[in-house]
Amino acid sequence: MHEISDERIAEPRNALPIGVFDSGVGGLTVLRALRERLPEEDLLYLGDMARLPYGTKSAQTVSRYACQAAGVLATRGIKLLVVACNTASALALDALREHFPGLPVIGVLEPGAAAACAATRSGRVAVIATEGTVRGGAYVRAIQARRPEVQVSATACPLFVSLAEEGWHTGPVVEAVARHYLEPVLEAAAPDVLVLGCTHFPVFSDTLSALVGSGTMLVDSASTTADAVAEMLLHNRLNAASGRIGQSHYMTTDAPERFARVARAFLGAEQAPSRVELVDL
């Protein structure tokens, strides 16, 4: 069990930031959506780049890493935790809620599944994600719990995470990897919805859209997660004061310079390395 820092205990709870963590920079897609949806909120982001990727790790390891990352955020003082990592959302939410009682926790998987169910017309949905997310079957269960008739295929695309973290978002290598992963899926399932089941994957949207064609909609969980966060803040009366301009603070467990460089593709703006704090888990 973790407690918030002494410095922030005296603050009204609604004045505390929203904590967001991911295994790397991919969760910045969620942070960007939160910033657009909730401009008055302060956001505290942690990218665990020292232990990237989570998607190839065991469920026990992912849960341990997630609780350690969330612990850093909790000790800074947060009012709500967003797990901006599909693998951790699939494998670690129960552990996080047990370790941080009283702290509202939202993962990205359930909002993504809900968006896919709302979008599909043919009832055929394909999910691309990390090995851990696919192996656990969480997206298939979440989608079919809402719409049992939907046919769901799930494909692991582990190289996408490495490419995204290296800043390779377009070009022949990305196109070749995308074809390798997706062509068998498109031929076998003919989905009308493709769920980007990893927060790193939206940076490949242009390449993926060209590959799947106009008949298949891409769905990612960033905007739907931001909507879920807004609803939870309202339900718990945790909204920051209206009219203020929220601030974002970034932390990483490795290579602040690299974090700042790669983050540009996810945030749409340059980040100075001096603005990225190095933390040790």
Catalytic residues: 85, 198
Domain residues of the chain, as ranges?
13-107+224-278, 110-221
Q: Which residues are annotated as a binding site for substrate?
A: 22-23, 54-55, 86-87, 199-200
Span 95-134, pLDDT tens digits: 999 999 999 999 999 999 999 999 999 999 999 999 999 9
Q: What percent of the chain has pLDDT over 90?
A: 83
According to CATH, the topology of domain 110-221 is Rossmann fold (3.40.50)
Q: Is the pLDDT of residue 245 over 50?
A: yes
Is the predicted pLDDT of residue 10 greater than 60, yes or no? no
pLDDT at residue 11, rounded to an integer: 66
Place of tokens 């996080």: 96
Q: How far apart are CA 47 and CA 45, in angstroms?
A: 7
Checking if the pLDDT of 8 tops 80, the result is no
Lowest mean pLDDT among 57-71, 72-86, 252-266: 252-266
Question: Is-same-fold flag (13-107+224-278; 110-221)?
Answer: yes
- Cβ within 8 Å of residue 251, ≥6 positions away: 44, 45, 46, 47, 72, 276, 277, 278, 279
Q: Which one has a higher pLDDT value, 8 or 199?
A: 199
pTM for the predicted model, two decimal places: 0.89
Q: Is 190 left (phi over 0), alpha (psi -120 to 50) or beta?
A: left
Q: Which residue has the higher pLDDT, 221 or 81?
A: 81
Average pLDDT score over the chain: 92
Q: What sign has the CA pseudo-torsion 40, 46, 49, 52?
A: negative
pLDDT at 3 over 70: no
The CATH number of domain 13-107+224-278 is 3.30.460.80: no
